[in-house]
Chains A and B, each alone.
Chain A
Amino acid sequence: MRLTLLNVIVAVVLAIAFAALNAAYLVWAERRGAARIQRRPGPNINGPFGLLQPPLDGIKLMAKQLTIPGGADKIMFITAPVLAMFPAIMSFVTIPFSDSIVAKNMSVGVLMIFAFASMGSMSLLFAGWSSRNKYSMMSSVRAVSQAVAYEIPMLITAITVVMIAGSTDLMEIVHQQSRSFLHWNIFPLLGNSHNILMPFSFLIFFICTLAETNRAPFDLGEAESELVAGFHTEYGSMGFGLFFMGEYANIVIGSCMTTILFLGGWGCPFGLFPGVWWFILKLYLLIATFIWIRWTFPRTTIYGLLNLSWKILIPLSLFNLLFTAGLIKVF
């Protein structure tokens, strides 16, 4: 494919559209899923299955007035929600949905996605600080300490996969898992690595994704019973909407990364459909698991949350890293 300006623009527009559409319709999926788990109808009035709910919500949010609290830092108050959405959209540019559907494949794809994911915590900090509300502030400090804590085991686990693949190129990582579905990184012994700890890596990575996206049971940043609504207490209108879209876009990216690193990307177990459908199937199965977990588990405490990362996940993932390095050296 020749790199023309038109191609680049089309790719970027598609990435933004994919991120925004997913963010909108995952809210719908989340509410339907929650309703199903709690045995109530959920949004079902507007359109078939309530499918018109997200655009209507969007129109409502955009029609509302954006109120800025008196003592707030205006510039940063407005910048924060934009910063919540921007890294998510940037990450979509390099995610390969199949061997031909990728906006811009980069040799440092893994790094790029984690680099932009780490920018998300800046938006939480700015939102909490600029609102001039002690609950927002406490919430953002919580959310960031959580994000910093879980970024470490997540990166270490990602490094083990990168070591096995010998590349940070997302397409290369998927290609190495593409021989058969037993070669996916999640499977021990038969997988690429012959590493019996890979299922645990997958689990650690998945838990970290849950925590990084501030999802229940790790949503301490928005613990309503303690902190009103968390860092977005003072946000109304589309400011609030952008935070929500950012959260769901991050869930999609986390699931994409789990699919690519551990579940063989667009690799298909039986070869029935073209790869991109398998990628989307795996992606939405993971997202469904996210929703399922959120409405099944109660919220943990902040100390339990931080201890889980610093005392259990980080030592485990470090051990895993050394073990994998040893295996690679021996075989």
Chain B
Amino acid sequence: MNPSTLASPTLLSVDGLVGVVFLIMVAITIIGGLIACNSDRLVRSVAGLVVCFIGVAGLYFFLNSPFVAMMQILIYVGAVAVTISFAIMLAAPEENKKIGPPSILAGPLGFATAALITGGFTVLALKTEWHVYKKLNDGSMKTIGLQLLTDYSMVFEVVSIVLLIAILGALVIAREGRDN
């Protein structure tokens, strides 16, 4: 991007509105994450997670990859979140109860982990030399498919092995439940 587009555009121009939409998406993601972490009721946490996923999908869409954005909604909102809420509803009837007082170490340890991760990402983001392209490729299904089966076929295979292991694990757990 050339510097002229980075110079703050007026609010009602196209660039300005796009920026506002971007900020709204970021806000939705963060608010969703906060709801997911801080609510007492598990189902509300799932609702927060859904909001967060939608925000992330909006960010993908903003970054010129509509395919990934739609897959994010289809898979994470439509399948993963529904499955999680299913599991919660079937497994935990007393969702109002707190699980118990948190241990003394939970706060500092959590804070340290969060600080470590945030610091790591910050250092990474600052140290990396970013190549800013206007558009890397068209982000279409065809391009993604070709890339997955050529340049990134190894990643593709590893992901399918992970999924296979997950399915086998689910089957094993379900079998044990059946014997009882």
Contacts and interface: CB of A to CB of B under 8 A. Distances in A.
Interface of A: 5, 73, 75-76, 79, 106-108, 111-112, 114-119, 121-122, 125-126, 129-130, 137, 141, 144-145, 148, 151, 168
Given A73-B44, A122-B82, A144-B86, A108 B67 contact: yes
The 8 closest A-B pairs by CB, nearest first: A118-B78, A115-B73, A111-B70, A115-B74, A115-B70, A108-B66, A108-B70, A125-B85
A119 B89 contact: no
Contacts of B73: 115-116, 118-119
Given A76-B47, A106-B66, A111-B67, 6 more contacts: A5-B14, A107-B66, A114-B74, A115-B74, A119-B77, A129-B85
B82 A5 contact: no
B47 A107 contact: no
A148 B17 contact: no
Nearest to B57: A115
A117 B79 CA distance: 11
Contact of B78 (A75, A106, A115, A130): A115
A119 B78 contact: yes
A145 B85 CA distance: 12
Nearest to A152: B79
A111 B82 contact: no
Interface residues of B, number: 25
Interface of B: 14, 17, 41, 43-44, 47, 50, 66-67, 70-71, 73-74, 77-79, 81-83, 85-86, 89-90, 140-141
Contacts of A144: 82, 86
Contacts of B86: 125, 141, 144-145
A5 B14 CA distance: 8
A122 B77 contact: yes
Contacts of A129: 43, 85, 89
A119 B73 CA distance: 8
B89 A121 contact: no
Contact of B141 (A121, A126, A168): A168
A310 to B, nearest CB: 15
A121 B74 contact: no
A76 B139 CA distance: 36
10 contacts: A5-B14, A5-B17, A112-B66, A115-B71, A115-B78, A119-B77, A121-B78, A122-B82, A129-B85, A137-B89
A253 to B, nearest CB: 15
A17 to B, nearest CB: 23
Contacts of B41: 73
Nearest to A111: B70
Contacts of A106: 66
A16 to B, nearest CB: 19
Most B CB within 10 A of own CB, among A126, A129, A144, A148: A129
B75 to A, nearest CB: 9
Nearest to B70: A111
A202 B67 CA distance: 25
Contacts of A145: 86
Nearest to A110: B70
A126 B41 CA distance: 13
A118 B74 contact: yes
B74 A111 contact: yes
Contacts of A73: 41, 43-44
Contacts of B66: 106-108, 112
B155 to A, nearest CB: 22
Contacts of B89: 125, 129, 137, 141
Contacts of A108: 66-67, 70, 141
